Amino acid sequence: MKALSLLVLVSFLIAAAAECPFSHGNDGGNGGANAPPKEASPPKHDSSPDYSPPANNNTAPPPPASGTPTAAPGASPALAPAASPAPVPAPASSVNKTNNGTLSPDYYANICPNLESLVQGAVRGMMASSPIAAAATLRLFFHDCFITGCDASLLIQNPNNDDEQHSSENMFLRADGYKTITAAKAAVDADPQCANKVSCADIMALAARDAVALSGGPTWKVELGRYDALGARASDVDLPLTTEDVPALMKRFSAHGLTVDDLVALSGGHTLGATSCVFVNSRIYPTADAFLDPGFASQLQGICPSNLDPNTFVFFDQSVTSFDNNYFLMVQQKKGVLFSDSALYFDSSSKGIVDKFAADQNAFFTQFVSSMVTLGRLGLKNAANGEIRTICTKPN
C-alpha cells in the first residue's frame, strides 16, 4: 500500500466520529467466542472516534493540506421562518409502516416538490467547502437513528446540555455534519412552498443519501414522512462501541432488527472519514495487537505518537473522500484501523461478508442501500408523539 503519510489527517479539527457501522460509542469490552485475547483489546474510552463536540462559532474547517488542528467549529441552529409549522398532508403513497408511522419516497410530492434538489444542493455546497462534510453527515444519521429512532433528536440542544448531542458518546461528532443539516434546512425553508413542512429527520435522511451518492457511492429512493422528536436526553444514548467484537455488536444490532449483513455493510461507511489516535494507540502500544498486520501496525506507530496526541488522525482507508469498497480490502488485509473494524474479519459470521464486499463493490453497494433503508425505519414518530420542528435544534 502507499505510504501511510496518506493516512495522516493533521488538519482535521478535533476528532471526526465513526465507530463501527458509522460510529461507536464510548467504552466497551470484548466478549464472545471469537474475541481477541485481552491484551489485544483496546481500553475503554469515554467518547466516540470521529467528530468534534458542538462549540459556539461558525468557523469552517481548513482543507486537509496544512495547519495544526484547532477547536471544532460549532453547530449553528437551523434558520427558522417566523410562521408556525403547517400541518403536513397525508403522503402520496405508502411503502412502509413501522411504529405507527408511514413512509413513502413520494411523501412530499405535493407538499415540497423541489425537496430533493434543495437538500442535494446544500450538501453539495458543504462538501465543496469541507472535505469531511460527507463523512460527518453520514455519521449523524447513524447516531440519530440508533438512539431513539430516526427523529432528529440528535440535533436538539437543551439549555442544560443534558441532550444526546452532549453525551460522551456524541461529543466527537464533527460540526461539519451539523452545519450540513443547518444549510439544508435553510434551503428547504427558503422555498415558500416548503417552509416548516419538512421534518428535520427527513432532511437528515436525504442528506445522508446525498453525502454517499456525491462521494461516488450508490443512490437510492429515500423513504420520507418522518416526524421529529419532541425532546432529547443524554441518558438515552447507548451506541455500539469501537472496542466491541462481533457478538457484542450484534447484540446491539439485533435489538433493532438489524442483521450481521447490516452490521458489515454499515461498517463500510468507514470508507469515508478518519479517526483520532485516541482510538488507535491502545492497539499499537506497548506492542501491536494480534489482529493488526505488523507492517501496518508499524506505520500506525509512525503516525500516532506513544505520548498520545488526540489531534492526530488516521484515515480508515486510502480513498478517504470516495465511497467505495477499499475499507473492506483494508479489513481483509488486517489493516482495520479500529478494533471493531478488525473484529469483522475474525468472526465466522462476518468474515465471508467482508470477503464478498472486498471482491464485489456492487454487492457492497446493494447491501448498503438495503441496510440504510432498514436503518431509516427505526423508531418512527407520528403526529401524536412527534412534530415538524421549526428550528432543528429545539422543540417547538
Length of the chain: 396
Spot the catalytic one: 24, 45, 143, 166: 143
C-alpha atoms less than 13 angstroms from C-alpha of 302 in its C-beta half-sphere: 12
223 is in an annotated binding site: no
Q: Which of 132, 162, 156 is nearest to 143 (CA)?
A: 156
According to the annotation, is 240 in a ligand binding site? yes
Residues paired with residue 103 on neighbouring β-strands, in sequence order = 96
Cα four-point dihedral sign 144, 149, 152, 153: negative
Query: 220-258 in b/e burial notation, b at 16+ Cβ within 10 A?
Result: bebbbbbbbbeebbbeebebbbbbbbbbbbbebbeeeeb
Q: Is 231 known to sit in a ligand binding site?
A: no
144 is in an annotated binding site: yes
Residue 24 is among the residues annotated as catalytic for this protein = no
Which cell is 329 given?
480490502
User: Cell numbers of 82, please?
Assistant: 417566523
Are the C-beta atoms of residues 153 and 164 closer than 8 Å to each other? yes
Is 271 annotated for ligand binding? Answer: yes
130 is in an annotated binding site: no
Task: State the Cα–Cα distance between residues 393 and 396, nearest whole angstrom.
Answer: 10
Which backbone phi and psi does 196 adopt, to 5 degrees? Answer: 65, 20
Residues linked to residue 98 through DSSP beta bridges, in sequence order: 101
**Cα 146 to Cα 347: distance, rounded to the nearest angstrom:** 23
Find out whether 149 is annotated in a ligand binding site.
Answer: yes
Report the candidate in 365, 362, 363, 368 with the shortest Cα–Cα distance to residue 352.
363
- The answer to the question of whether 324 is labelled as a binding residue is yes
Q: How are beta strands 101-103 and 274-276 bridged, if at all?
A: unpaired
Instruction: Select from 20, 33, 18, 25 the least CA-distant residue to 349.
Output: 33
- Phi, psi torsion values for 394, nearest 5 degrees: -155, 150
C-alpha–C-alpha distance, residues 258 and 145, integer Å: 12
The verdict on whether residue 228 carries a ligand-binding annotation is no
For the stretch 26-59, what's the b/e string if a residue is b when 16 or more beta carbons lie within 10 angstroms of its beta carbon? bbbebebebbbeeebbbeebebbbbbbbbeeeee
- Residue 158 CB-density burial (10 A; 0-12 exposed, 13-18 middle, 19+ buried): middle
32 in a labelled binding site: no
Residues annotated in a binding site for heme b: 270
Residues annotated in a binding site: 144, 149, 151, 153, 164, 240, 270-271, 317, 324
Residues annotated in a binding site for Ca(2+): 144, 149, 151, 153, 164, 271, 317, 324
Catalytic residues: 143
Residues annotated in a binding site for substrate: 240
